Structure 1
Amino acid sequence: METPENQTQSIFQTTTAKMILVGVLTLALLIPLEFVKNLISERSQRQEEVTSEINDKWGQSVYFCGPILKIPYTYFEESVSINEKTKESVKEKIAHTSYAYFFPDTLQSTAHVTTKVLNRNNYESAVFSNAMKFNGTYIEPDFSSREIADENIQWDKATILIQTTNLKSIKNEVKIRFGNSDFTFEPVYSSNSKDSTESLETGYIDLKKQLASGAHFNFDITYNGSKQIKMVPIGKTTQVQMQSNWASPSFTGNFLPDDKTKKITANGFTANWKILHINRAFTQQVFDTLPNLSQYAFGVDFVIPVDQYQQNERASKYGFLVIGLTFLIFFLIQSISKINIHIFQYSMIGLALIMFYTLLISITEHSSFTMAYIIAAIAVVMMIALYSITILKNRKFPAFIGASLSVLYSFIYIIIQLENYALMVGSIGLFMILGAVMYFSRTIDWSK
């Protein structure tokens, strides 16, 4: 007759009890796995801080909107006041000054962007030097829509305005050739802290005189920058050509380059845009207040597509899958071979699997992600395979475990590298794994 102690022992030796214990252990191992994820997030955040410091010193994102003709004009408001002596109402006109903004009729730009990667310790950031050339034409400004008389237009106090960012990283004196004269841009102080853009503006231009000698303009501007270049298509016809040695551009904004002329190779890219005024929802002239046109901007992002911490984060998301499948392999071997594997031994195997991710991130910071992944995977697979020899008392099952883990890590690496087909490949792989588990577990007697 079995004693209560023997009954308790036999209950814990059942397949169901072992399955429950392994399941509980798998869930418990999610705690150290979460710590590893937090470590990756912390290192990634540190990289962002260092990258921000590098970019701030080299140059931030570039936004460009211009050149814009800014013309002051006088308008009158009628005011009624009461004469205190006669008690009669007196009408008078008060003069006010406002501004009209006119955009170019044609605007052509070429941008030559030279990129490089700056490193600080284990961190890196993509930066660029951007040499931009502009040329175009204006037509004579028309104030007829506001019925403003010519004598009220201050033609001799016109200026040319550029809205941009990253003024501190401009590397040349910016001069515009307008008609037959040269005008120098100066920075304009803005008291509006909410406005992220900065302004460059010329001194006064005698616009009538300049338009008489020709409405053509051209100027150059060179920036040091990072992350992004964006422009606003303010020309009635805007044409932009951009060349760069950056091999993985991300075209962004409201307009994409022409597919017929766009070329992307391992040595860089060439892109061309042609945008007409009918393609965007603003006119060629604006009165009183210049609106924020950044929503109509287009350009290119210069960022490292998938950095090492993103890849480590994606790998760690499959940690639960790796632990679960590895425990499942050991559990099936245990059930088929009748070899007893203690829960402590499962714990050691689980901790070894988690050590893979700490090895991966630490080696990645001093090497490539691929090399780190290979080294970490080989180390963990060999450790578990050698440990399995002492548990399973033979070499056949450990060899199978080593081969299975190698396939599993290879499968996860492939998923991490894929972008468009990651879900499909992952689903097919899991379906095949489920089929294999169903096949090998078909002969197990689950009633014991």
Structure 2
Amino acid sequence: MDHQSEKDTSRPEVNIPKITIPFFQTPTVKMIMIGFLTLFLLIPLQFVKDLISERSQRKNEVIKEVSEKWGSSVYFYGPILKVPYTETNSNTFKYAYLFPEKLENQTTVETKPLNRNIYNATVFTAQMNFKGSYVQPDFDIQNIPAGNIHWDKATILIQTTNLKSIKDQVDITFGGKPYTFEPIYNSNSGFEALETAPINMAGATFPASFDFKIKYDGSQLIKMVPIGKTTEMSMKSNWHSPGFTGNFLPNDKTKVISDDGFQAKWKVLHINRAFSQHYFNTLPDLSKYAFGVNFIIPVDEYQKNERVSKYGFLVIGLTFLTFFLIQSISKIRIHIFQYFMIGIALVLFYTLLIAITEHSSFRLAYILSGLAVVLMISLYSFSILKNPKFPLLIGTSLSALYLFIYIIIQMENYALLVGSIGLFIILGLVMYLSRKIDWNSN
């Protein structure tokens, strides 16, 4: 029996050619190019920040100009009893400056906006009512004989600012008699001042009481030096966001702040501040002991725009990352020029925001700018990706990111905490979505 030769049933080897990914299409190179593009877009983003700073500076200049014409900040240091005397063996006049034993002030402030072009300045009219009393001064501590004291030439002095905006004549009732203040310039202190004509206090009885009123048009700030041995001040205003400033704060139990305005009271004793109740020869500058209220907007629209622009790098980076992940998952190629167009649209958001804010509120400007950019990028994404679910994902992600940033900038104390938690969650989502991507096959 012949044995047939055994047939070779093995199949011939097939050489499958390796698919070589073009160098510029490798994931690493694409990530590097997108990273460089993100850094490049920081240049126009910085131009936007400079624009916000320039517009803010322009607003401050306009507000300063308007405020100076209406009336500047109010600083009040007085009333001070100024008594001339001569030293023994000298015919030279010198002065004793005596502070009141008790000083009470009641101030009512009515604020209103003053418009110029597209800018608003907050100005006020302040009605300040003063009363108090002086006690018998002791000149023996300076070894000044009673005969050297010229009580017939005593005056009452007030150092202040903003004389041009005092609305009415300032009269003081002292010891039951009326006297009128006249403006002077104190070359030693540089302050403007008001001073009465000489008051004949020879034979005057103490305590000597006084009361007077003064009405200012002003802006930004009211400050007062607590020169009374006991100084009490109360202030009432329609301003809703006062900034209590200076060396003393109001009593928390009497402080009331609402959308309709505020009320506050201060009480300062002589043991609370490090200066005396009388001075001889020179009157010291006590402005560092002054206290009062700022009538300024805590965070204006430009500051909000500046804070939003600081998140520009984050918005661009996360948006590019979203497109990159979609590109990696769907195998759809997105050209670097298309990334560039998307980046420019994201930068234009901030230009739109500052432009619309100047003619409306920040909230409305943020909504309109955000809707415009999200709609533009979503439509552009649809033309690139073709599949409607990806543009929908991008539009939703970008809207959530803008909402997240808006929430952060409204916070003050918890902005860092909320921002950090939000970024942590975003990083976790990116890690989860990218866990199954085969980076070597893209």
Q: TM-score range by the shorter chain?
A: over 0.9
How many angstroms apart in 1 are the aligned matches of 2:438 and 2:191? Answer: 72
RMSD across aligned C-alpha pairs, in angstroms?
A: 1.4
Alignment of 1:119-130 (within 5 A): 119-130=115-126
Alignment of 1:38-437 (within 5 A): 38-76=50-88, 93-192=89-188, 195-211=189-205, 215-437=208-430
Question: Does the aligned pair in 2 maintain the 1:37–1:316 contact within 8 Å?
Answer: yes
How many angstroms apart in 2 are the aligned matches of 1:306 and 1:317? Answer: 16
Show CA shifts across 1:283-335 (max 9, x none).
11111110000000000000012111111111111111110110011111111
Shift of 1:197: 2.2
Shift of 1:208: 3.0
The answer for the alignment partner of 1:80 in structure 2 is none
How many angstroms apart in 1 are the aligned matches of 2:56 and 2:223? Answer: 26
Letter in 1 for 2:208: A
Question: Does the aligned pair in 1 maintain the 2:165–2:217 contact within 8 Å?
Answer: yes
Q: Secondary structure at the match of 2:115?
A: strand
Shift of 1:447: 3.1
Letter in 2 for 1:27: L
The answer for the alignment partner of 1:11 in structure 2 is 23
Deviates more, 1:417-426 or 1:276-285: 417-426
Question: Does the aligned pair in 1 maintain the 2:152–2:199 contact within 8 Å?
Answer: yes
How many angstroms apart in 2 are the aligned matches of 1:310 and 1:180? Answer: 53
Q: Secondary structure at the match of 1:261?
A: coil
How many angstroms apart in 1 are the aligned matches of 2:160 and 2:434? Answer: 66
Show CA shifts across 1:363-389 (max 9, x none).
111110000000000000000001000
Question: Does the aligned pair in 2 maintain the 1:178–1:210 contact within 8 Å?
Answer: no
How many angstroms apart in 1 are the aligned matches of 2:231 and 2:187? Answer: 31
Question: Does the aligned pair in 1 maintain the 2:240–2:259 contact within 8 Å?
Answer: yes
Question: Does the aligned pair in 2 maintain the 1:180–1:210 contact within 8 Å?
Answer: no
How many angstroms apart in 1 are the aligned matches of 2:274 and 2:107? Answer: 25
How many angstroms apart in 2 are the aligned matches of 1:430 and 1:167? Answer: 54
Query: What is the TM-score when the length of structure 2 is the normalising length?
Result: 0.94
How many angstroms apart in 2 are the aligned matches of 1:31 and 1:46? Answer: 23
Shift of 1:30: 0.4
Letter in 1 for 2:432: Y
Question: Does the aligned pair in 1 maintain the 2:170–2:180 contact within 8 Å?
Answer: yes
Show CA shifts across 1:49-107 (max 9, x none).
1001110010000000110001111014xxxxxxxxxxxxxxxx443221111100000
Runs of at least 5 residues in structure 1 that lack an aligned partner in the other structure: 77-92
Question: Does the aligned pair in 1 maintain the 2:104–2:233 contact within 8 Å?
Answer: yes
Question: Does the aligned pair in 1 maintain the 2:185–2:191 contact within 8 Å?
Answer: no
Q: Secondary structure at the match of 2:91?
A: strand
Show CA shifts across 1:111-164 (max 9, x none).
000001111111111110000000001101111111111001111111100010
How many angstroms apart in 1 are the aligned matches of 2:351 and 2:263? Answer: 41
How many angstroms apart in 1 are the aligned matches of 2:120 and 2:303? Answer: 14
Question: Does the aligned pair in 2 maintain the 1:115–1:127 contact within 8 Å?
Answer: yes
How many angstroms apart in 1 are the aligned matches of 2:324 and 2:41? Answer: 17
How many angstroms apart in 2 are the aligned matches of 1:264 and 1:94? Answer: 57
Change over 3 Å in CA distance of 1:20–1:197 after alignment to 2:
same
The answer for the alignment partner of 1:82 in structure 2 is none
Q: Secondary structure at the match of 2:22?
A: helix
Shift of 1:196: 4.8
1:24 equivalent in alignment to 2:17: no
The answer for the alignment partner of 2:47 in structure 1 is 35
Letter in 1 for 2:436: T
Q: Secondary structure at the match of 2:344?
A: helix
How many angstroms apart in 2 are the aligned matches of 1:210 and 1:166? Answer: 33
Runs of at least 5 residues in structure 2 that lack an aligned partner in the other structure: 1-14
The answer for the alignment partner of 1:81 in structure 2 is none
Structure label with greater radius of gyration: 2
How many angstroms apart in 1 are the aligned matches of 2:371 and 2:352? Answer: 11
Query: What is the TM-score when the length of structure 1 is the normalising length?
Result: 0.93
Letter in 2 for 1:35: F
Percent of aligned pairs sharing the same letter: 65
Question: Does the aligned pair in 1 maintain the 2:72–2:162 contact within 8 Å?
Answer: yes
